[in-house]
Each structure stands twice: as structure tokens, then as C-alpha cells.
Structure 1
Amino acid sequence: MTIRKTNKLTLEAFISSPRRSPAIPNDNGTLALYTLSTYSLESHSEGKEIRVLDLFTGKSTLFSDDAKNKDVAWLQDEQVLWLREGEGGVTEVWCGFAVGEKNAYLMTTIDGPASNLRTKKLSNKFFAVAVTGKASPDGTFFNPETAEKPRLSAREYDKLPVRIWDHYMTAEKNSIWYTRLDKHENRYSISSVGFINALQGTGLEHPNQDPLFAGNFDLSAKGILLTAIDPAVDQALLFENELYHIPVQTFTEDPAPPAHKISIPDYDGSAISAKFSPDGKSAAFLRIKEAGNDYDQPRIFLMRDTDNVDSVTELTTSDSWDLQPQSLTFGSDAKTLYLTAEDCGRRKLFKILVPEEATYTAALPTPITSWGSISSVHAISTTLLLVTLSSLTESSIFAAVDLSTGTLRQISRHTNYSSSHFATSPSQVSDIHFPGAGPYDVQAFVVKPSSFSPRKKYPLLFWIHGGPVSAFLDEWSTRWNPAVFAEQGYVVVLPNPTGSTGFGQDFVDAIKGDWGGRPYQDLVNCFDHVKKELGYVDTDRAVAMGGSYGGYMVNWIAGQPLAKKFKALVCHDGIFSLPNMLASDEISSLWLNFGGTLWENPDAWKKWDPSRHTARWDTPMLVIHSEWDFRCPITEGLAAFGVCQAKGVESKFLSFQDEGHWVLGRENSLRWHRTVTGWCDRFCGGGVERGSWSWGSLVP
């Protein structure tokens, strides 16, 4: 697909530019696979390429531009396995060489959509293969194209969840399916048993249908590790992932149910990032201590012997390390664990040694990287890692980390979509620190236009992140992207107030029961700091924007004194009334946020309810909400818009019929960006010419 080249990161260039997945190396560390998704605004068509990267030269070659190919995985050396969408809703399994599709052959067909392809070498002759896909109630693959269509639209439930994220629950459940590949000279064949449902009869579902808690699974010669929600737990009261082990040796036998739940005394919270060591003899995972408390710091656990999966050792404690690890990767010799964790606005790479003895004193993970944000880590050798990372001005970099020297060498940067092509550069981004609501400082990023001049004054976009337990990172985003808005003539300020991750556990915990308290005052202090210290920012021309919890905060600000300092507000998928959030798809987290249920602690729910302060709403507001958003239901956006309209406050409402909590469709995303920048320009004037498109044309 032809890429229209431009030196300016326009809205159209941002939406249509290719997006690159993380790079996955082969076993000998010579090649890596990644995908490149493209979109043409002229033909309104999507494209997808699978590409092969030479890790020594950095040269990329095309493996496939068939948009139906997906989920490619290495077997060994240059041989690969991949899935392809077939006719009639089936999934084809193909095998070939990474140098191209020549000599490729169809191995088998799966009767239904399958994805998340995994492979694991068991011996020189056998490979384990696994995919995920929906299972019918009888345990067979579910194919929505051939399934009998219902004759009525009724749905009936006797327990939660009724709906998750952007869809209603059905009788079909996600499952893991496994089989074995047998090698005969240079060709492979699928075992005659076909794909086996690993979760049949267990009541488990994987992946979890909520993308924020989807979890992961991993393969070894010892079986399958996975995270899943315990079906015996009432999800109205508790929502968390448990860790399970399914012993499988040949990957041709049926699993021996039930799957074994791995329990740790005094640790009842969610488990994430389960990984086998390269030889499968040990494993590692993250686990939260307190049940239902997803704000808590995950601890690192080592499963010393996968023949005895309950033999675990805790490698970090909250006393020894105060950050929240997010992912784990074993070193190639299984003697080191590499982990990612947010640290002061960056997702850094750390390492910790795997202890040789069961008795172990908790150690402090040591940092390896210091800039940008790591999204993927793979061990190539004992001294070399392949990482994928990005920053606020770089969309994708593949790099090698030399552990012997501590250096990071760039292998490939996304030249069609980064500072090597557009005008953006790291010099646009800086950190500021300012006093918070208590005896602590708060960090924020400042992103300036690439054409920035200190002699000019720029209008302010004041962004508030969601979560609330989350953070703005030095990381590229295909949704809310500060560099794109900076290129529209604004200075974008990204504060990390109370509740933000990467600044210690106490900073995270302080937001519990205080949604509109400390975080709000931190934001007030941030605005005052920008007004006083950043002379190039015109705070008399300022817009506040936020989504999810950030949208809650926009609604909260609308009824507080800070609203008077903004010319306009943008609320995306925000929360208007806290009691109404009982219609959300995931309500158990509300008990944690407000110190109990609505009927147990009504005063806390009332205290931080934005709807109780609507008498003071008078700042123009753009409200954006999508019909498939079941996390923050669309009635929240309609209520906020209704209040603005009834009070005569200038307001607009933008809705997407086919989007959920995130606006993901490229054409929808372009409309979102045009509407938001148009609203900001109306009140603050970024000063960038964007053609004749009218921001006021909100009706399709």
C-alpha cells in the first residue's frame, strides 16, 4: 500500500500511517517477525504485512501482504507457522519459511476463528502448538458463520457479568486449544488427534473477555500455565485472575481435569504474566497480595520446580521494592528474570537474579534502561536481549540490549512514522515537577510543537489520564497522542497526580476513597505551576481533557473553581454520577474505591459525585461517548450533555455506534481527532491550518 509522505504530523498522517507490532526473534537470534498494519484514507481500506527483520543488518523484507494471514510464530531457524482466515469462518494453519511464502503448505483447518498462536519445541521431532478460540457449550470449536442463528433476541442471566467491555456474555466461552506438530525430514504435520480443548470441563475461560485483565498463557514440556477467573467466585463481589497449571506431556493426550489452581498462603489477589523458564523446569509469575485490590503492588514469585507447582519463592516484597512490575521474561539460561515496571513516567527494563537456593533474601531489581517505554522483551542469548520500545515522539524502535556493556543499540526504527520522517523529536518533551497537595512533588510531561519558539505563546491542552491507577508515560499512543496535538499548535501538559503508577505504592494507595480530593488539588497546583513557570504557555487559552477516570475528573472540575481557568472542557467516556456506575460491567472495583458498597458507605459515594455540583457548571463542554462502552455506560455522557443543554452551557455531543471505551476504527479516530481539535480551536485557536473541514458538522 502506498504511503503518502509528509513532513508534518497532521491528523490524517497520524491516522493513516502504518503501525508496527513488537518484534519476536527466532531461537538463534538472527531474524525477527513483526506485523505492519496500514490504512488508506483514500480507498478506506486496511492492509496488513508480515515482515522479517534481519537482526544483524536491520534490513526488513516482506514475508506476506495477505491481510488474511495473522499470528505468525517461529518453529526453528527460518521455519514458521501461521494462521490464516479461511472461507466460512474457519482458520487455516500454514507452515513455511520466513524467507517467503514459497514452498508453504496448508497443514490443517480449524472449524472456527482462532488466534494467539503459541509454539514450543518439545524435542527435535515434536513441537507443541496452542491457539485460543471460542468453544461451544459442548466443548467444540464455535464457528459463528455456520452456527444456527437464534430465532429470538432474548437474553437471560442469573449472575454477573451480563456484559463485558463492548459485548454481551453468551454461552460460548474463550478457551485454549493445543496439539502437537510432528516433524518428518523438513516437513511438519499436525497430530491426528487435532486440536484439543484444554479447558473443557474446568469451568475456566481464557483469555478473560475484559481486555484490561485478559491475562496470558505459556507452554512448556510440563504443560500449560494460564490465568483465569475462578468460576466459583461471585464476580459481583470480586473480579480477579487466578493462576492455573494444566499438566500435559505429549500434547496429544486429553488434559487431566481439574486444572490445578496455584495457591500461595496470604496472597489472594490477581495473578499475571505467568512464564515458564526456557527448559520448562521452573516458572515465574506476578501476584497481588490482597484480593480485589488491583491497585496493590504485584510481587514476583518463582516456581522452583514445575513438577511441584506449589513450591514457590517470593523474590520481591513491598519493603524491598516500591514499583509495580508488569511483565516477566526469563533469560536464555533461566538464571535471570527481566521485568518491566513504570518508574517516574517511563516503563523501564529491570533485572533480578533467580536464586539457586530456596532460602532467599529479597533483592532489589536493578534498572537496565532509562528512557522511553519498553513494550516487549525477548532473550536472544545470555548477554543479548531484543526489545521493542517507543517514546512520546518515537512510535516504534527495535533495539538490542547488550547486557555485558549495558548499552542499547538501535536495530530498526519505524522510519515512516517517527522523528526520522516527521518533524517530531525528543527535544519537544520535558519533565516538570511541582508541589502536590501534601508533602510530595508531582511529575508532569510537557510536549511542545516541533516548530516551537520560546518567543511565542501557545494555548494549553491540559490532559488528565484515566485509570485512575495509571500514568502518562514517555510512550507512543495510537489513541490519545500528545505529539499529534502539539503539532496542531498547542503545548500539551500531562500531569501524573495522586493515584498514578510509577511513583511508589503510597502514591497509588492515596487515591482510595479520595477521587476528587488529592488528585484534584494536584491538578490545581499543576495548572498554577504552568502559569507561573512556563512563560511560553498562554493559560488564558486553555482546555482540559480527560477520558474514563480523566472524564470523571473533567466532570468534577466542571463544578469546582478550577473550571473557571479553562475556556472549554472535553469529557471522553467519563463518569457523571457514581451510583449510576452500578450499571458498569465491572462493579467490584467500586467497593475498593469508595470504601464499601453504596448501601454500606453512601456518604463516600456522595462526597465525590460530580452530579452533585452541576449548579456550578458553566464551562463549554464537548462530551464524547460510545454506545458499546459498557465500562462507563453511554448514559453517563448523555446525562452530562443533558445538564449542559438544560443550563444553556455551550456543548456538543459526539457518539460512535460501533466503538467501546476506546475509539479504535481509523475513520472513527480521524473523526474524533477532527472534532476535538475543532472544539479546542474554537475556544483557544491552536493556529494551525487544517483545511475546510467543519468541526460543527457532527451529524453523519
Structure 2
Amino acid sequence: YFLSGRSGSSQVWRAEADGTAPVQVTNLPLDVNAYRLSPDASKVAVSLAVFPDCADLACTVDRNKAVTDDPATGQTYDRMFVRHWDTWNDHTQNHLFVLNVDGSGQPVHVTRGFDGDTPSKPFGDESEFTFTPDNQGVVFSAREAGKSEPWSTNFDLYQVAISAPGQLTNLTDANDAWDTGPVYSPDGRTLAYRAMARPGFEADKYAIFLRDVATGETRQIAADWDRSADSLQWSRDGRTLYTTAGDVGQTRLFSIDVRRGTVIPLTGEGHVSAFQQTPSGFVFAQDSLTRPSELFVKTYRGREMPARITNVNPQLDALAFGEAEQFDFPGWNNETVHGYVIKPANYVEGQKYPVAFLIHGGPQGSFGNGWSYRWNPGTYAGAGYAVVMIDFHGSTGYGQAFTDSISQHWGDRPFEDLQKGWAAAQSKYSFLDGDNACALGASYGGYMINWIAGNWPG
């Protein structure tokens, strides 16, 4: 199953495993933003951008046409968001509808009356909703918009029966912080999800919780693991959860024993962006500073190196990339801080090179061992620059205390790390021409560029 616009709009399609014989599954008058299949594959839940006060999809279609045909472009807003990330609020919300895969019946608007988006805007996806094990309901993560949406992180898990659209049960009302990523165990008895602890703080750690479906009792697992979990998958026997997490400049795949809470890394260097289980192990997408995403396979807990099974960009094999090396140094408060130095492409031993000093945004983010289509250090290395990147205090993947340390210290602590990291790199790598360098950054990185301009003489 996949999304395709080949019919003129984004709809759900299915095909044979080899990609042949594509068949259109949905034929809705609106684009499908995300979808989930029920466990028995008889139903599909889709997210559509609708005007929440509309009684049916035709109403949203007509209102969209009226807006398009209206020569006036003015908008009225009585609450925020007016704009979020790179998109203006057009007064629609992402709502969930359930359809029969065989085309029978009418779409059921299961989130009818809810004032919020599923998936969330702007970065949400299908991991935020799932079917119940009996195929008769949906659990989804969402935040009530109201007047407080821009500063609220109170996403809750709601359950709704397909037979009772709009009648929602809040499963996580006790937590006023972020709850998301619902995933049922293979036997249907346990609901795993991720949750933050501090309301209003978007950069809190995602901990892993298990909810007993019958009793509602909830417990945290791997509470001592100081990393923030991404989306979860159950093993087929229900004894293990798999997830990815940032980890000291890498993004690794981890296994978590559900009973003991033991956490084991399954991959090494690189950035794992997606994974699926196979009968013998995993297939996963992994990229790095020198290669965009490729597919790899690995056995369960095997000690062998992952085997690459794709070569999506063979033309890159003929190109020179700068060699990357991770280093560390004592930063603010004498705590260990990590960074990367990347040699210019076609580096020649003994030569000095101008330096691009890249500063990441967020600020709770990371410039680690991953490929980027926005800020790619390889573009500078390919142009003959050496590159220095520092994961200053506030960065992710080094423990929650490290991430928290930037709060109320947006300028001083990261700035100290950048100065000390710059000095450490100059001392360790003789090919860096520190007198011929430029600092670059966007978002928080741009903020720090201004801070550097006013606080770093010379």
C-alpha cells in the first residue's frame, strides 16, 4: 500500500510486492495526507484536511473552490496559529476518516467535532494514529487547539469507536505533556506509546510507556535509558520493542526488553531513518555524512556488519567526499562536548584549507553523522573548504541534562562550547586555516551568528 498522485490527487493505492499491478484503493475528493491499514486490512484510516465545521467532504470541496474563486485574498483570524513553520493557516484541520478497503459504504468521520489536527502540523505522520486490535476503533494522538495551541504540548491519546464517531475517550488525560506514537502489542493486550513529562517543553525526552488495555494500568520501561525514543515497533513475540534514537552524533536502532527494560544498540555509525522487521532481522534505511539513504539488512542481534542492498545513487561512487572524523573536548562546565571535522574533498596532506564553521539550529538539534538536503557539509567540502561542526550544550543525543542545559542560557553556554570547540579543532587538525574561516547558521544557528558577531572579538 502506498500514496500516489497518479490519479490527479493523493490517494491510497496497492500493488504487488514487486510494484506491479497497481490498483487505486481510495477515490476521495480531497488529498489523502496519511493513512493506516486495519490489522485485518479490511479498513483504512485516512487523514484529510477539512473545514471542521463542515458536515461532509463536499462542503470542504465547495469551500475550497469558493476561496480559490474569490479575488479577495484577505483572511480573518481570531486565534493562533496564523502561520506555522512554512505554511499559512487556511482554517482546515487534519481529521481522520475510516473507509472500507473494498469501496463499500461511506467514509466515517471518526474525529468529528474534535478541535485539532491528526497528524499534527507541521511534522506529524501516520505514526500518530493506529487501529485497535479488533479493527473496530482508532487510537490517535492530538492536541486540542483552542486559544492555547502555540504554547501547549498537551497531546493526548484518544480512542474512538468507528461505530460512534466523535465520541472520544482520553486515555492519557493524567499527563499534561506530550503523548504520542500508539502501537499495540501482537496479542492486543498492551498499548505502547511515547510520552514527555514536562508540559510546554517541546525538547523533553520521549520516554516509553506500556498501558494494559484491560485495566488501563500504565508503567514506564527503560526509565534509566537517557535517550529520547522515536517511533516504536513490537517484535513478533511481543517481548521486545524496537526504536531509533539519537546517540552521541549517530542515530541508532535499539532493542528494548519489555520485561527487564534492557536496552541494546543494534546498529553502529550512521543515521537510521526508518526500519522494518524481516523474518531473520531488519531492513533499514541509513545515511551518513558522505552518503544519502540506502537500504541495509541485518540479522537479529547479529554481530555481522549490516549489508547494503541498494545503490540508489551510483553516480556518487565516482565523486570525492571529504573524510569526516568525530572529536571531543572539555566544553562549558568542563563537560565533554562532541563535534565533527570534515576534510575537503580531494584533501592533500600538508596543505591548509579555509574553514566553514557550521552551527546547527533548533537549538535542541544535532549536526551528527547524517545526510542533509538543507545544511549538507559535503557541499562545503566539495568546494574546497574544511568543515567544523560542534554539538554544543543544548544538542540532542547526549542525555536530557545536556539538552536542558541551554534553557535560560541561549547565548552563553553554547557560545563557550563553540569557542572551545573551535580552539580544540585548530589544535588537533593542522590543515584548518583558522585565519581564513566563516561561521554559518540558520534559525538558532543564525541567532548564534549574531551572538558571535557581538561577542567574539577578532
TM-score, structure 2 as length reference = 0.91
Structure 1 stretch displaced more, 293-302 or 206-215: 206-215
Q: Is residue 147 of structure 1 aligned with residue 75 of structure 2? A: no
Q: State whether residues 344 and 503 of structure 1, in contact with CA within 8 Å, keep that contact through their aligned partners in structure 2.
A: yes
Change (3 A) 1:173 1:85: farther
Match of 2:244 in 1: 340
Match of 1:287 in 2: 195
Q: CA deviation digits over 1:323-363, x for unaligned, max 9?
A: 222221111222110111111100111111122xxxxx6x3
The aligned runs of 1:223-302 (5 Å cut-off) are 223-232=137-146, 234-248=148-162, 253-255=163-165, 257-263=166-172, 265=174, 267-302=175-210
Task: Give the one of 160, 166, 178 matched to 2:80.
Answer: 160
Q: Distance in 2 between matches of 1:161 and 1:468?
A: 21
Q: Is residue 129 of structure 1 aligned with residue 51 of structure 2? A: no
Change (3 A) 1:388 1:237: closer
Change (3 A) 1:497 1:96: closer
Q: State whether residues 91 and 109 of structure 1, in contact with CA within 8 Å, keep that contact through their aligned partners in structure 2.
A: no
Name the aligned partner's letter for residue 210 of structure 1. Answer: P
Q: Is residue 416 of structure 1 aligned with residue 332 of structure 2? A: no
Name the aligned partner's letter for residue 140 of structure 1. Answer: D
Match of 2:271 in 1: 373
Q: Is residue 390 of structure 1 aligned with residue 305 of structure 2? A: no
Change (3 A) 1:94 1:508: closer
Change (3 A) 1:312 1:436: same
Deviation at 1:404, TM superposition (A): 4.5
Task: Give the one of 105, 112, 115 matched to 1:193.
Answer: 105
Q: Distance in 2 between matches of 1:296 and 1:208?
A: 17
Name the aligned partner's letter for residue 32 of structure 2. Answer: A
Q: Distance in 2 between matches of 1:493 and 1:512?
A: 24
Deviation at 1:414, TM superposition (A): 3.1
Q: CA deviation digits over 1:195-230, x for unaligned, max 9?
A: 222211222321222227996222343432221112
Q: Distance in 2 between matches of 1:213 and 1:110?
A: 19
Q: Distance in 1 between matches of 2:23 and 2:266?
A: 42
Change (3 A) 1:219 1:422: farther
Task: Tell me the secondary structure at the aligned position of residue 97 of structure 2.
Answer: strand
Q: Distance in 1 between matches of 2:36 and 2:124?
A: 21
Match of 1:311 in 2: 217
Give the number of the structure with larger relative contact order, counting CA–CA contacts within 8 Å between residues 6 or more apart: 1
Q: Distance in 2 between matches of 1:375 and 1:482?
A: 19
Q: Distance in 1 between matches of 2:200 and 2:126?
A: 16
Deviation at 1:376, TM superposition (A): 0.7
Match of 2:420 in 1: 525
Task: Tell me the secondary structure at the aligned position of residue 90 of structure 2.
Answer: coil
Q: CA deviation digits over 1:559-611, x for unaligned, max 9?
A: 1125x2xxxxxxxxxxxxxxxxxxxxxxxxxxxxxxxxxxxxxxxxxxxxxxx
Structure 2 stretches lacking a partner, 5+ long: none
Deviation at 1:85, TM superposition (A): 4.7
Q: CA deviation digits over 1:404-457, x for unaligned, max 9?
A: 5233432423342675343337xx010111120212121101111231122111
Q: State whether residues 272 and 285 of structure 1, in contact with CA within 8 Å, keep that contact through their aligned partners in structure 2.
A: yes
Change (3 A) 1:93 1:419: closer
Change (3 A) 1:395 1:432: same
Q: Distance in 1 between matches of 2:252 and 2:29?
A: 41
Q: State whether residues 130 and 179 of structure 1, in contact with CA within 8 Å, keep that contact through their aligned partners in structure 2.
A: yes
Q: State whether residues 399 and 408 of structure 1, in contact with CA within 8 Å, keep that contact through their aligned partners in structure 2.
A: no
Q: Is residue 405 of structure 1 aligned with residue 311 of structure 2? A: no
Task: Give the one of 119, 130, 136 matched to 1:218.
Answer: 130
Task: Tell me the secondary structure at the aligned position of residue 427 of structure 2.
Answer: helix
Change (3 A) 1:263 1:91: closer
Task: Tell me the secondary structure at the aligned position of residue 202 of structure 1.
Answer: coil
Percent identity, aligned pairs only, is 27
Name which one, 1 or 2, has greater alpha-carbon Rg. 1
Q: Distance in 1 between matches of 2:19 and 2:332?
A: 58
Change (3 A) 1:370 1:99: closer
Match of 2:92 in 1: 172
Task: Give the one of 424, 427, 438 matched to 1:543.
Answer: 438
Q: Is residue 351 of structure 1 aligned with residue 266 of structure 2? A: no
Q: Is residue 115 of structure 1 aligned with residue 29 of structure 2? A: no
Change (3 A) 1:557 1:108: closer
Q: CA deviation digits over 1:154-184, x for unaligned, max 9?
A: 3222222222122332332111221122xxx
Task: Tell me the secondary structure at the aligned position of residue 109 of structure 1.
Answer: coil
Task: Tell me the secondary structure at the aligned position of residue 422 of structure 2.
Answer: helix
> Could you say what the CA RMSD is over the residues aligned between the two structures, in angstroms?
2.5
Match of 2:118 in 1: 206
Task: Give the one of 364, 377, 385 matched to 1:482.
Answer: 377
Deviation at 1:544, TM superposition (A): 0.1
Task: Give the one of 489, 494, 498 matched to 2:389.
Answer: 494
Q: Distance in 2 between matches of 1:493 and 1:203?
A: 45
Q: State whether residues 339 and 389 of structure 2, in contact with CA within 8 Å, keep that contact through their aligned partners in structure 1.
A: yes
Q: State whether residues 179 and 194 of structure 1, in contact with CA within 8 Å, keep that contact through their aligned partners in structure 2.
A: yes
Q: CA deviation digits over 1:639-674, x for unaligned, max 9?
A: xxxxxxxxxxxxxxxxxxxxxxxxxxxxxxxxxxxx
Name the aligned partner's letter for residue 366 of structure 1. Answer: I
Match of 1:138 in 2: 54
Task: Give the one of 97, 106, 109 matched to 2:16.
Answer: 97
Q: Distance in 1 between matches of 2:20 and 2:389?
A: 45
Q: State whether residues 129 and 180 of structure 1, in contact with CA within 8 Å, keep that contact through their aligned partners in structure 2.
A: yes
Q: Distance in 2 between matches of 1:134 and 1:264?
A: 26
Change (3 A) 1:232 1:172: closer
Match of 1:686 in 2: none
Q: Distance in 1 between matches of 2:447 and 2:401?
A: 22
TM-score, structure 1 as length reference = 0.61
Task: Tell me the secondary structure at the aligned position of residue 396 of structure 1.
Answer: strand
Change (3 A) 1:100 1:531: closer
- Matched residue count: 451
Deviation at 1:100, TM superposition (A): 4.7
Q: State whether residues 337 and 351 of structure 1, in contact with CA within 8 Å, keep that contact through their aligned partners in structure 2.
A: yes
Name the aligned partner's letter for residue 121 of structure 2. Answer: Q
Name the aligned partner's letter for residue 42 of structure 2. Answer: F
